[in-house]
């Protein structure tokens, strides 16, 4: 404890201070014993390592990769943000070199909507980046407090962020971690994109021992979820999710587990934004839906094309002033009039069910088609397997340019012990011996998409092992194909199905029956 008179440490159990002699146990004395709050070990380490250069004040943010501290540059007397890699992240050797290299590349990005990087450094085991300190609030905190944002604000944020991304993409830098928490609004209503360079530099340490990519799943593109290389179209997808979140007050894909979110990014069309918010201009809604297209080829070829599309939206001078004033107020913690929205419809369950229920809630032909496509979502296999097949088949998927018809209602195939959603062309009866060599072939090729339960089931098409747990847009010859699915402890499936030339055959969820 502390002596209330002189502040000297006094061992517990002693009555008198050994320095000044004060009676610390006397109830009539001013014995207010203050127990100092235990200091965060990382904060203490950063303060010690950077003493003399930066006065580290406090931590104001922490993620899975790094912590952010507000500090004062001692020599220039200006506030800065210190982003420090967490000790739990294995940063060393080639990864540390990559961190410095990518951060230096990001430091060369001179754009009014990109947070400037001042310095990249390493002291002992501390790897840090010094950035401009933005006095304001991140977009995710604004949405959490405010809900859906006014349309002029949505357009202003999308324009600024897209402009920053187009500039970076043109110089060979892809962000890879666009999300609402990485879009900052300062107290003057200016919009910044932060963390350029850090996301790419951290890729090597954002992989778990099993190979699963770790990130912010609500904003990750399907190709990033699969662990495939991420290009400009990946940033576009993430920005589209941010745009949807600003319009609806919530991201389109929320679930109780990372795998469930990932499979929705793969298979589930985003909800109809008009069903939760009225008055959204159709060109803006169409732009958002194009950004969140599952196939990267269906997004914008160049991010500059996205900028042009945003600039083509009506955004008059008065709306621009309103947007900046609203952003200024929100960044300072004030509330603005609430935008009334409905509740996003629940996402389909991870098991096949309720096709008719979804269809009954869909009031238009497009809604009904989207509802049918949401039938039969199964448990996604390990992300590494999905990544392999995404990488193998993305090029063929782009080449085909085929549109996918919606799934039909789920049904039970009692002959094979399978619960599956019916493909556009129905499953046939189990094949006779030798059908593999006599498979009917039509001209052209098609794509196949299916998932299994259990998720470790091995999938064979025409006798060739093509995946474990999931097959996503596998390119196969059109015609009759043989499908076998096997898993330990389950009744195997052995049947045939038809692949339509130039289309996508969705077999939905195939749930094997347990052995008796």
Question: Which domains are present in the chain?
Answer: 1-36 (no CATH), 41-132 (3.30.200.20), 137-347 (1.10.510.10), 383-512 (no CATH)
Contact 411, 496 (CB under 8 A): no
Q: What is the mean pLDDT of residues 389-408?
A: 38
CA–CA separation, 332 vs 142, rounded Å?
10
Band (pLDDT 50/70/90 cuts) for residue 319 is very high
Contact 131, 118 (CB under 8 A): yes
Distance of CA 235 to the CA centre of its chain: 10
CA–CA separation, 186 vs 138, rounded Å?
9
Which of 71-80, 364-373, 485-494 has the highest mean predicted lDDT (pLDDT)? Answer: 71-80
Residue 207, beta-bridge partner list: 213
CA–CA separation, 421 vs 235, rounded Å?
32
Give the pair of three-digit tokens for residue 32.
């207010």
Which of 249-253, 370-374, 429-433 has the highest mean predicted lDDT (pLDDT)? Answer: 249-253
Band (pLDDT 50/70/90 cuts) for residue 396 is very low
Contact 111, 221 (CB under 8 A): no
CA–CA separation, 94 vs 314, rounded Å?
48
CA–CA separation, 414 vs 411, rounded Å?
9
Cα-flanking dihedrals φ and ψ of residue 509, to 5°?
-90, 125
What is the tens place of the pLDDT at every residue in 170-212? Answer: 988 888 889 999 999 999 999 999 887 655 544 444 433 333 4
Best CA proximity match to 449, nearest among 411, 503, 401: 503
CA–CA separation, 482 vs 460, rounded Å?
8
Residue 32: predicted pLDDT = 39
Q: What is the mean pLDDT of residues 279-304?
A: 95
The DSSP annotation for 342-371 comes to -PPPPPPPSSS--HHHHHHH--SHHHHHHH
177 is catalytic: yes
Which one of the listed residues 23, 97, 177, 413 is annotated catalytic? 177
CA–CA separation, 281 vs 342, rounded Å?
17
Burial class (CB in 10 A: 0-12, 13-18, 19+), 416: buried
Contact 429, 416 (CB under 8 A): no
CA–CA separation, 516 vs 514, rounded Å?
6
The DSSP annotation for 113-169 comes to TB--EEEEEEETTEEEEEEE---EEEHHHHHHHH-S--HHHHHHHHHHHHHHHHHHH
Cα-flanking dihedrals φ and ψ of residue 160, to 5°?
-65, -45
Say which residues have a Cβ less than 8 Å from residue 132's Cβ, sequence separation at least 6. 80, 81, 115, 116, 118
CA–CA separation, 137 vs 182, rounded Å?
10
pTM for the full predicted model: 0.62
State the CB neighbour count (10 A cutoff) for residue 9: 10
* Helices 282-291 and 303-311, packing angle to 10 deg: 170
Residue 156: predicted pLDDT = 97
CA–CA separation, 180 vs 238, rounded Å?
9
What are the CA-CA distances from residue 407 to residues 366, 369, 450, 461 (Å)?
Answer: 14, 8, 11, 20
Say which residues have a Cβ less than 8 Å from residue 188's Cβ, sequence separation at least 6. 328, 331
CA–CA separation, 392 vs 265, rounded Å?
19
Band (pLDDT 50/70/90 cuts) for residue 64 is low
First to last CA, the chain: 68
Say which residues have a Cβ less than 8 Å from residue 288's Cβ, sequence separation at least 6. 240, 243, 244, 247, 273
Band (pLDDT 50/70/90 cuts) for residue 151 is very high
Residue 503: predicted pLDDT = 86
Q: What is the mean pLDDT of residues 242-263?
A: 88
3-state secondary structure of 226: coil
Tell me which of 13-27, 113-127, 223-237, 363-377 is least confident: 363-377
Say which residues have a Cβ less than 8 Å from residue 406's Cβ, sequence separation at least 6. 369, 370, 372, 373
Give Rg (Cα) of the chain: 28
| Omega within 30 of 0 (cis) for the link into 454 | yes
Burial class (CB in 10 A: 0-12, 13-18, 19+), 312: exposed
Tell me which of 28-42, 125-139, 304-318, 447-461 is least confident: 28-42
User: What mean pLDDT value characterizes the chain?
Assistant: 75
State the CB neighbour count (10 A cutoff) for residue 208: 10
Which residue do the tokens 């940063």 mark? 91
CA–CA separation, 53 vs 418, rounded Å?
66
Residue 239: predicted pLDDT = 97
């Amino acid at each position: 404890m502390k002596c209330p008179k002189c502040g000297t440490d006094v061992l517990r159990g002693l009555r008198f201070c050994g320095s000044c002699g004060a009676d610390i146990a006397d109830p009539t004395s001013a014995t207010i014993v203050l127990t100092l709050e235990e200091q965060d070990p990382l904060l203490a380490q950063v303060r010690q390592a950077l003493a003399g250069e930066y006065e580290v004040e406090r931590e104001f943010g922490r993620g899975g990769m790094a912590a952010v501290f507000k500090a004062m540059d001692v020599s220039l007397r200006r506030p800065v943000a210190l982003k420090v890699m967490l000790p739990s992240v294995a940063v060393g050797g080639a990864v540390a070199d990559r961190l410095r290299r990518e951060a230096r590349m990001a430091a060369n990005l001179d754009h009014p909507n990109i947070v400037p990087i001042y310095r990249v450094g390493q002291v002992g085991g501390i790897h840090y980046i010094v950035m401009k300190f933005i006095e304001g609030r991140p977009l995710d905190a604004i949405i959490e407090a405010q809900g859906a944002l006014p349309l002029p604000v949505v357009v202003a944020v999308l324009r600024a962020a897209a402009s920053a991304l187009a500039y970076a993409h043109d110089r060979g830098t892809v962000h890879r971690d666009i999300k609402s928490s990485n879009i900052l609004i300062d107290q003057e209503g200016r919009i910044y994109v932060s963390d350029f360079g850090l996301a790419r530099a951290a890729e090597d340490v954002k992989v778990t021992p099993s190979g699963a990519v770790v990130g912010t799943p609500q904003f990750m593109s399907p190709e990033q979820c699969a662990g495939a290389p991420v290009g400009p179209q990946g940033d576009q997808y993430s920005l589209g999710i941010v745009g949807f979140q600003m319009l609806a007050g919530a991201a389109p894909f929320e679930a109780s587990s990372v795998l469930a979110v990932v499979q929705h990014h793969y298979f589930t069309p985003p909800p109809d934004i008009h069903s939760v918010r009225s008055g959204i201009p159709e060109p803006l809604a169409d732009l958002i839906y194009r950004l969140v297209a599952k196939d990267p080829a269906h997004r914008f070829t160049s991010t500059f094309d996205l900028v042009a599309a945003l600039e083509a939206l009506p955004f008059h001078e008065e709306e621009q002033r309103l947007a900046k004033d609203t952003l200024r107020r929100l960044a300072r913690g004030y509330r603005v009039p609430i935008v009334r929205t409905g509740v996003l419809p629940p996402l389909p369950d991870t098991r096949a069910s309720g096709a008719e229920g979804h269809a009954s809630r869909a009031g238009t032909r497009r809604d009904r088609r989207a509802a049918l496509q949401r039938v039969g979502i199964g448990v996604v296999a390990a992300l590494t397997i999905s990544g392999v097949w995404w990488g193998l088949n993305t090029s063929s998927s782009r080449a085909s340019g085929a549109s996918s018809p919606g799934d039909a209602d789920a049904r039970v195939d009692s002959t094979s012990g399978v619960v599956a959603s019916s493909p556009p062309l129905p499953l046939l009866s189990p094949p006779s011996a030798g059908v593999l060599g006599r498979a009917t072939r039509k001209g052209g090729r098609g794509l196949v998409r299916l998932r299994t339960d259990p998720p470790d089931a091995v999938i064979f098409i025409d006798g060739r092992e093509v995946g474990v747990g999931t097959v996503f847009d596998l390119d196969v010859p059109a015609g009759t194909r043989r499908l076998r699915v096997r898993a330990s402890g389950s009744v195997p499936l052995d049947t045939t199905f038809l692949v339509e030339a130039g289309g996508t055959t969705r077999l939905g969820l195939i749930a094997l029956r347990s052995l008796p």
